[in-house]
């Protein structure tokens, strides 16, 4: 065989192997889904006892695997145990306890009033599970972002196929191992992998898709879901602004800003992406910011300062640092994938760093002359996932919160709205659709079935022949026509 035909044979073999691998994925995905659908249709997941048992099992699985999960997150991007427990596990345990405690009341049918025209009768709204759900997670909080939606789906009585991000590969493997050990795969199972596996999953028909990730992949998921008319929740990202008014109590709020921006090395979907500060206090703000960054000890020397998840993400972030604009930081080390907390000043709205979500430890600072200017700047961009406002003034707060649309946010703090399970968490417009956390999560994975129950002892003659003027007059009255 000549060199050319050897090469052709090898390419053909590779194509064969790849399509065989593709077939294996397709077949095993199809089997998993069909087994889950069959199990769901047996009605086994619908009883409250069954659901509570799954939630308790998940809690004890996490408790027993805690060390392994913490080590996996550290192996993925050097995120230390303290930070992982505070920013990931706390939310997971809280959601589990809340769901176990509240499940009975969340899943009760609710009686609502019945319109006069339908009397006698009684109207109800009855939550029911959607069926077999696909949850696709992001890598940046790889325990929380995979398990919190899973808790909501199980609480609502669904079966779940979970696809964690391949970028946090150790955590994905640890979750898969834990879930395989404790769960019947007909109820909950993990499919590991990247684009190929996710694409295969997305071709199948699910009863719900819950996706956390970027806007661009969110579009792919939405299109795939549309093919099967599958309902989706999309938890996406975007550029979340932090507006600082001239009256802000800088010594307190800047401490909160520094923690919220640089924890996880800025790889937080709701981290403030950029600051808009009142021009009159720019200098004092920057002085305090510099000091706080020093105190916070997020630095290349801190062995718990999170790494950037991949070299690709590292290179993208470094390309956003224009040395002429660096006020603080700018140091980076590619071999360890670390970037120091970096503050950029003299930034304009059309600079490169202001184009896409930064998702790293880089904070551009822009100034504004008046509140109108800040409002119109934010409103000229896609609706953000979060908006933060540092001010002591209720009129500034009312103005900005009533005029600007955003997913959720806080006054005089950052990130904290996530930690209240009474607050539905989600985006709007480009930053996402739908919400979860607490009861909102249960709702995201439920269908609210409506029905009227009517007795048979009386049937008003209004809508039947013979049509009479008096009947129409009563109908007009009943409906305010
Ligand atoms: P990503 O969109 O790259 O990946 C998310 C998931 O999609 C992963 O599981 C990945 O395997 C899968 N995926 C990637 N490319 C795909 C493709 N072409 N087809 C099908 N599936 C594909 O996002 P990421 O890098 O993991 O996370 C970063 C983004 O997620 C940021 O934009 C961030 O703001 C956002 N995010 C949002 C939230 C939220 O709660 N709203 C939370 C965390 C992260």
CA of residue 28 relative to chain centroid, distance:
27
Residue 11 has pLDDT above 90, yes or no: no
Residue 18 has pLDDT above 70, yes or no: no
The mean of the pLDDT values for the chain is 95
> What residues are annotated to the active site?
235, 269
Ligand 1 centre and the CA of 167: distance in Å? 10
Mutate-to-test residue for ligand 1 from 210, 213, 418, 429, highest number of ligand atoms within 8 A of CB: 213
Ligand 1: does its nearest atom lie under 6 Å from the Cβ of 163?
yes
Is residue 25 very low, low, confident or very high in pLDDT (cuts 50, 70, 90)? Answer: confident
Ligand 1: does its nearest atom lie under 6 Å from the Cβ of 171?
no
Tens-digit pLDDT profile for residues 122-143: 999 999 999 999 999 999 999 9
Q: How far apart are CA 360 and CA 320, in angstroms?
A: 10
CA dihedral (399, 402, 403, 408) positive or negative = positive
Ligand 1 centre and the CA of 217: distance in Å? 6
Q: Does domain 12-236+436-446 have CATH number 3.30.1370.60?
A: no
Tens-digit pLDDT profile for residues 418-462: 999 999 999 999 999 999 999 999 999 999 999 999 999 999 999
Residue 1 has pLDDT above 50, yes or no: no
Ligand 1: does its nearest atom lie under 6 Å from the Cβ of 208?
no
Average pLDDT of span 451-474 = 96
Residue 6 has pLDDT above 70, yes or no: no
Ligand 1 centre and the CA of 139: distance in Å? 7
Ligand 1 centre and the CA of 236: distance in Å? 8
327: left (phi over 0), alpha (psi -120 to 50) or beta: alpha
Mutate-to-test residue for ligand 1 from 91, 209, 214, highest number of ligand atoms within 8 A of CB: 214
Q: How far apart are CA 29 and CA 40, in angstroms?
A: 16
Mutate-to-test residue for ligand 1 from 88, 91, 138, highest number of ligand atoms within 8 A of CB: 138
Q: Residue 332 pairs with which residues in a beta bridge? A: 339
Ligand 1: does its nearest atom lie under 6 Å from the Cβ of 162?
no
Tens-digit pLDDT profile for residues 86-102: 999 999 999 999 999 99
pLDDT of residue 27: 84
241-426: CATH architecture: 3-Layer(aba) Sandwich (3.40)
Ligand 1: does its nearest atom lie under 6 Å from the Cβ of 165?
yes
The dihedral over CA atoms of 358, 364, 369, 374, expressed in degrees to the nearest 10, equals 10
Is residue 7 very low, low, confident or very high in pLDDT (cuts 50, 70, 90)? Answer: low
Residue 334 has pLDDT above 90, yes or no: yes
Q: What percent of the chain has pLDDT over 90?
A: 93
Pick the atom of ligand 1 nearest to 432's CA. Answer: 41
Ligand 1 centre and the CA of 165: distance in Å? 8
Ligand 1: does its nearest atom lie under 6 Å from the Cβ of 217?
yes
Ligand 1: does its nearest atom lie under 6 Å from the Cβ of 88?
no
Could you tell me the residue ranges of all domains in the chain? 12-236+436-446, 241-426
pLDDT of residue 125: 98
Q: How many helices (H) and strands (E) does the chain have?
A: 15, 18
Ligand 1 centre and the CA of 313: distance in Å? 13
Is residue 16 very low, low, confident or very high in pLDDT (cuts 50, 70, 90)? Answer: low
DSSP notation for 322-381 = -GGGEEE---EEGGGTEE--EEE-S--TTSGGGTS---SSEEEEEEESSHHHHHHHHHTS
């Amino acid at each position: 065989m000549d060199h050319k035909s050897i090469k052709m044979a090898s390419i053909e073999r590779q194509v064969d192997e790849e399509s065989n691998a593709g077939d294996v994925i397709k077949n095993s995905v199809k089997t998993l889904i069909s087994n889950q659908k069959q199990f769901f249709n047996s009605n086994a997941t619908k009883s409250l006892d069954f659901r509570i048992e799954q939630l308790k099992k998940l809690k004890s699985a996490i408790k027993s695997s805690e060390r392994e999960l913490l080590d996996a997150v550290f192996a993925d991007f050097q995120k230390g145990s303290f930070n992982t427990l505070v920013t990931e596990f706390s939310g997971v345990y809280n959601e589990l306890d809340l769901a176990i405690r509240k499940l009975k009341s969340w899943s009760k049918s609710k009686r609502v009033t019945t319109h006069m025209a339908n009397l006698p009768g009684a109207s109800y709204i009855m939550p029911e599970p959607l069926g077999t759900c696909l949850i696709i997670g992001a890598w940046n909080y790889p325990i929380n972002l995979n398990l919190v939606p899973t808790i909501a789906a199980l609480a609502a009585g669904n079966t779940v196929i979970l696809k964690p991000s391949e970028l946090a590969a150790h955590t994905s493997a640890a979750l898969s191992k834990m879930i395989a050990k404790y769960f019947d795969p007909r109820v909950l199972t993990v499919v590991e992998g990247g684009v190929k596996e996710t694409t295969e999953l997305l071709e199948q028909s699910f009863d719900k898709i819950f996706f956390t990730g970027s806007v661009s992949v969110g579009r792919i998921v939405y299109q795939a879901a549309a093919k099967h008319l599958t309902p989706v929740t999309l938890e996406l990202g975007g550029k979340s602004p932090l507006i600082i008014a001239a009256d802000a109590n800088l010594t307190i709020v800047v401490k909160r800003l520094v923690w919220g921006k640089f924890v996880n090395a800025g790889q937080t979907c709701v981290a403030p992406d950029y600051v808009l500060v009142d021009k009159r206090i720019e200098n004092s703000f920057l002085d305090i910011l510099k000091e706080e960054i020093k105190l916070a000890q997020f630095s290349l020397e801190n062995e718990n300062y999170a790494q950037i998840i991949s070299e690709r993400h590292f290179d993208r972030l470094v390309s956003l640092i224009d040395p002429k604009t660096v006020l603080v930081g700018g140091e980076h080390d590619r071999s360890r994938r670390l970037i120091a907390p970096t503050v950029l000043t003299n930034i304009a709205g059309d600079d490169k760093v202001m184009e896409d979500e930064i998702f790293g430890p880089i904070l551009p600072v822009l100034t504004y002359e008046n509140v109108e200017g800040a409002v119109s700047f934010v409103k000229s961009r896609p609706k953000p996932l979060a908006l933060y406002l540092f001010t002591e003034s209720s009129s500034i707060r009312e103005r900005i919160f009533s005029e600007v649309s955003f997913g959720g946010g806080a006054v005089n703090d950052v990130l904290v709205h996530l930690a209240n399970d009474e607050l539905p968490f989600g985006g709007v417009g480009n930053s996402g659709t739908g919400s979860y956390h607490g009861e909102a999560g249960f709702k995201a994975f439920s269908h609210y079935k409506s029905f009227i129950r009517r007795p048979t002892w009386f049937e008003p003659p209004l809508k039947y022949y013979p049509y009479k003027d008096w009947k129409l007059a009563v109908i007009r009255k009943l409906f305010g026509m």
